[in-house]
Copies of this chain bind each other. A is one copy, B any other.
């Protein structure tokens, strides 16, 4: 009975179509510009149809959050090839911040927005890629501290320190909090210099690592 399978395929096709168009709108107009009604006209279905494939808007955002994690993982793929754990940590930090600044709409979904998290709690779904990234960073910190004989430091807490600092840098920069505490002549350049210097400061403070 291939009909059920075909229907299943068609259902998945429309789900994919919705997510594909949602992705396009997200990139073009950001999370605020992504509305169910706009998405509906874009895929040439009525708004109500979308609710036959997704429970609500937050579920769509949740699915897109996962797409964002894939994107980020891709941009960080080469990190695993590095020998030196300190270089790995620095690269993770650098790429994390770069991703946050250049792909803010994805980043916002993954680490800042409340909407997709609503769905995580409701479904008790997992945040697999986020946890994996955090665990990997912690393992790098463990290696680094082991090499430096800093055995009193908790690598998990160090990872949290790094994550928080990087996340703070990204969000404060994107929401224009840096351009007001510094002379905001050329926001972009000032911002990049501040972030670069702060990342260096972080590496020196945590690991006495001068790049």
* Residues in A lying within 8 Å of B, measured CB to CB: 111-114, 117, 120-121, 126-127, 130-131, 134, 153-154, 157-158, 160-161, 163-169, 171-172, 175-177, 180-181, 194, 197-198, 201-202, 204-206
Contacts and interface: CB of A to CB of B under 8 A. Distances in A.
A154 B112 CA distance: 29
A175 B121 contact: no
A41 to B, nearest CB: 26
Contact of A161 (B114, B126, B160, B165): B165
Contacts of A194: 157, 160
A116 B201 CA distance: 30
Total copies of the chain: 2
B111 A177 contact: yes
11 contacts: A112-B112, A130-B181, A134-B181, A161-B198, A163-B168, A165-B168, A167-B168, A167-B172, A168-B168, A168-B171, A171-B171
Contacts of A114: 175-176
B117 A157 contact: no
Contacts of A197: 154, 157, 160
